[in-house]
Every structure is written in C-alpha cells, then in structure tokens.
Amino acid sequence: DIQMTQSPSTLSASVGDTVTITCRASHYISKWLAWYQQKPGKAPELLISDASSETNGAPSRFSGSGGGTVFTLTISGLQPGDFATYYCQQYNSFPITFGQGTRLDIK
Amino acid sequence: EVQLLESGGGLVQPGGSLRLSCSASGFNFGSYAMGWVRQAPGKGLEWVSTINPSGDRTYNPDSVKGRFTISRDNSENTLFLQMNTLRGEDTAIYYCGRVLAATVGWLDTWGQGTLVIVSS
C-alpha cells in the first residue's frame, strides 16, 4: 500500500499569510494526487487534482505543485474561510489512501 | 446541479448489517465510477469502496473486504453499500462520492454523509 504523510499536522497562521502544506508518498505516484478541504461538520471538497490542476470553483489562491513522491499545497493570502483541515489523496493505485490531514488554525 | 444524498445510517449492534444508499442527481450517473469514503469520529478519511460505471468491477481495501459490498442501480441513479458483520471500528460518517476516472481516481463531488454507529 502507498502511505501518504502530511506535514505539518497542525499549522497556525493569520489572515493574509501564505502557507504551504507538504504531502509525501511512500512510493512513486507520478502526478496522481488530489487535495481536499474539510470544514467542521461538512463533507470534504475537492481543491486540486492531478497534483496541480485547480478545480472549477476553487479560489485561485489555492495552488498545487510537485510530482513523484513530494507534493505541496500553497494557500496565498489566507482568508477567514480557509481555516479548515486539508487532506491529500493518492489515486495512482488501489488501495486509495489519504494523508492524515493538516489542520490550519487561526493564530 | 450535481447532488449526492446518502441515507440508511443508524445504530446497529456489533455483528449486525446495514445497507446505505446514495441517490444521485444532476449528472449522467451511469457514466461515472462511484465510491464510498468514511471518517471515524475525530479522525481522517478512509477509502471504503469503488465501483466502475457499469457495476461489474468493484474494489475494496482489506479492512472491509469480504464484509462490505458496493453495488449500483443505474436505472434508479442509486449507489449502495451493503455492510455485514459490522464492528465497532466501522463507526463513522460514510460519504458517497463521484469518481473522476474509470475506477481509481479522485472524488469531485461528495454527499453530506450518513452516520453509522456500531455499538451494543
């Protein structure tokens, strides 16, 4: 199975900051990675697919990069609604696996 | 508008069974793979099952293999998850999602989730 490891697990930042979350895969997964945002009590929402393709409707301040085994999600100019938990997911092969999540808190 | 609506969750005793449903609308259901993902209370996301568009191929992780069965009725735009021999560790919110790929892919649309509690 491919293990996905996110860092950090928790991140504190302020409105207007730029933050980066890293996701590492235990095996090569090419560009087959998605990022999701989840707010408390809500279902996850897709932000990025294929490592760097922004989904329709996701704000442009969210960007993804990377490939192979190391990927990043960058949020430029944090807005109040961005404080949430973020998950990466690999879809290179079954079993599909998620990172453990990164909780983004207001400093 | 693409929408998914889960139902069928509830309280069940260990060893019991439950069948979840996911009603889809706003898209050509029979053209998409579909999946289930769960989230235990206060925990992260765990993939549970995927089914291809025609329904003749299914995929499950070892944690539910032999106990959970995914199926679909394309004429009724509905996805199902039959869960048998339930355990306490199956307690979670179960989300259905539309998969953007033939089988292994990402979920571009999620339902609101249905809560399953396995407890005596």
What are the pLDDT digits (tens) for B39-56?
Answer: 999 999 999 999 999 999
**What's the pLDDT at A68?**
98
Confidence band for A57, pLDDT divided at 50, 70 and 90: confident
Confidence band for A24, pLDDT divided at 50, 70 and 90: very high
**What's the pLDDT at A55?**
93
Do residues A24 and A67 lie in contact, with contact meaning Cβ atoms separated by under 8 Å?
A: no
Closest Cβ opposite residue A89 in set B50, B103, B106: B106
pLDDT tens-digit readout, B6-41: 999 999 999 999 999 999 999 999 999 999 999 999
Percent of chain A with pLDDT over 70: 100
**Which residues 6-45 of chain B have a CB within 8 Å of chain A?**
35, 37, 44-45
Residues 6+ apart with CB under 8 A from A48: A33, A34, A35, A54, A55, A58, A62, A63, A64, A73
Closest Cβ opposite residue A46 in set B35, B44, B107: B107
**What's the pLDDT at B76?**
98
Q: How far is A16 from chain B (nearest CA, A)?
A: 27
Closest Cβ opposite residue B45 in set A44, A46, A55: A44
**What's the pLDDT at A14?**
96
Chain A: residue whose CA lies nearest to B107: A46
Burial letters A21-41, b for 16+ CB under 10 A, else e: bbbbbeeebeebbbbbbbeee
**What's the pLDDT at B101?**
83
Q: How far is B48 from chain A (nearest CA, A)?
A: 9
Residue reference for tokens 């199926």: B71
pLDDT at A52 exceeding the cut of 90: yes
**Which residues 50-89 of chain B have a CB within 8 Å of chain A?**
50, 59, 61-62
Average pLDDT of span A82-101:
97
Confidence band for A66, pLDDT divided at 50, 70 and 90: very high
Q: What is the sign, positive or negative, of the torsion defined by CA atoms of A86, A70, A61, A11?
A: positive
Q: Tell which residue, B89, B17, B78, B87, has the closest CA to residue B51.
A: B78
**What's the pLDDT at A32?**
97
DSSP for chain B, please give it: --EEEEE--EEE-TT--EEEEEEEESS-GGGSEEEEEEE-TT--EEEEEEE-TTSS-EE--TTTTTTEEEEEETTTTEEEEEE-S--GGG-EEEEEEEEESSSS-EEEEE---EEEEE--
**What's the pLDDT at B103?**
81
Closest Cβ opposite residue B59 in set A36, A45, A94: A94
pLDDT tens-digit readout, B62-115: 999 999 999 999 999 999 999 999 999 999 999 999 999 878 999 999 999 999
Per CB-CB distance under 8 Å, the chain B contacts of A91 are 101, 104-106
Average pLDDT of span A81-95:
97
